[in-house]
Homo-oligomer: A and B are copies of this chain.
Amino acid sequence: MPRTKGDHEARRRDVSEAVWRVLAAHGFGGLTLRAVAAELGATTGLLTHYFPAKRDLVAHALDLLAERTAARPRRPATPGLAAVRAALLDILPLTADAIASNRIWVSSWDTALADPALSDDYARKYARGRARLTDLIAAAQDLGELPPGDPARLAAGAQSFTLGLVVQALFDPATFPPPRQVELLDDYLASLTPPP
């Protein structure tokens, strides 16, 4: 039976799923053709068809991470402080999927910091995240739900707080279960909005 385009795409999806599972379990440091082949139940020979070199495998892993992050579910929220809160909750490792993708993000920092071009790419990515957050914060300020002040500066603080909470929660999920993460984020947001 001849191979169809559908077969080919299904196989690519299987390969991507296997790469993702290896990353979630072992991080970028454990990402090898051999590990992906074992996860897929295939030969490393088959995988060299997709990834002629280790750097092709790493590039695919980084693409997957970017795609899955872009496609992750977002909490709906009305504009204002609720939208700021929702955007920060969307980042935290509160579900199994969000734990896996955050664990892979944190793991990717080693690879990214070692490569100047990739490091610049990450810097731009975080700058875009801060810019989106800045818009949400400015809208909350317009509604009087956050005090006046440079919204970009508040966004830089909020992004720092959230990223650091991600790291803490990944290393110590027993101390930082989802309700605790939400409580700490709400403390942080409350500190930005002192009582009138």
Whether B171 contacts A122 by the Cβ 8 Å rule is yes
Copies in the complex: 2
Q: Contact partner of A164 among B107, B112, B159, CB < 8 A?
A: B159
**Chain B residues, Cβ within 8 Å of A194:** 194-195
Q: Contact partner of A114 among B30, B108, B123, B127, CB < 8 A?
A: B30
- With contacts A109-B109, A160-B161, A164-B163 taken as known, whether A126 is within 8 angstroms of B27 at the C-beta atoms is no
- A107, closest chain B residue (CB): B110
**What is the interface of chain A, defined by CB distance below 8 A to chain B?**
25-30, 103, 106-114, 119, 122-123, 126-127, 153-154, 156-157, 159-168, 170-172, 174-176, 183-184, 187-188, 191-192, 194-195
Whether B109 contacts A106 by the Cβ 8 Å rule is yes
Whether B164 contacts A28 by the Cβ 8 Å rule is no
